Amino acid sequence: MLNVTHIRRLKEYVFSTDTYAATGVMALLSESGSAPVRLIHEENLLDSVFYQTNGLWRLTVVIPDDPLMLLRLTETLARLVRNCSHPPCVLLISPVPADWLIHTLGALGCSPGLLSNCTVVPLGIRQSLLQFMLTGKVSPTFSGPGSVKRKDALQVLTPGEHKAVTDWLSGNTANACASSMGRSVKTLYTQRSNGLCKLSSVFPALKPRGRKHQPHAVSKRRKVTTKPEIKS
């Protein structure tokens, strides 16, 4: 955990697509004496300022309760973390469980060491508790990858599944996605189906409805027998 003195020296950045959420977080930071900067666009998360200040910054991200935005943000955050020379100080206010989110970043290439200063708190966290956490007065309920569940106990998407589901939720056609990814349409369908099933573990609305898909089921044809003709 970062101490209070260290936190006061950090340059604060806030990213959220929700103006109300961003304003609320910035107000809490302002009350603690910080002068937070709001990042408007997702591509701002990859600005050079995050690689030229020797880690003297903290980024607070409010992740919306939306599967497409979650996938896009985790991919961008993974790029940010991978490009840092030191473990970045990142606070993620998330609608999905911390262990799932951390392992998703890990699956996208982030090492446990670079995630050691990554803190995840629930989207419904109390304002008073969040304010204490932002000022470093209380320990977070979860910090870094050390206390998460084992990856094999979670439904974490592979990079291919992550890309396939993101493209599908974005409305891109299967042929266009397969071509851009250098894969066959059949492989794309498989990755998309598996990815959606995994993503439904944190977004139940995405769970397939109707008849259960069984890709390895073998169809059985009914055997028809005919009686021999009896001549009189």
Domain interval for residue 198 = 159-206
Give the number of C-alpha atoms closer than 13 A to the C-alpha of residue 155, restricted to the C-beta side: 13
Same domain, 31 and 93: yes
State whether 27 and 81 are in the same domain.
yes
Tell me the three state secondary structure of residue 161.
Answer: helix
For residues 111 and 174, membership in a common domain is answered with: no
pLDDT for position 5: 47
Please indicate, yes or no, whether residues 24 and 115 belong to a single structural domain of this protein: yes
- In terms of Cβ atoms closer than 10 Å to its own Cβ (0-12, 13-18, 19+), residue 148 is buried
Complete edge-to-edge strand list for the sheet that includes strand 11-15:
37-39, 11-15, 57-62, 89-94, 118-122
| 84 and 142 housed in the same domain | yes
Same domain, yes or no: 143 and 118: yes
Q: Which helix (H) or strand (E) holds 11?
A: strand 11-15
Task: Express each pLDDT in 61-82 by its tens digit.
Answer: 999 999 999 999 999 999 999 9
**Per the structure, how many domains does the chain have?**
2
pTM for the model stands at 0.80
Q: Are residues 40 and 133 in the same domain?
A: yes
- pLDDT-derived band of residue 215, with 50, 70 and 90 as boundaries? very low
One-letter amino acid at 35 equals A
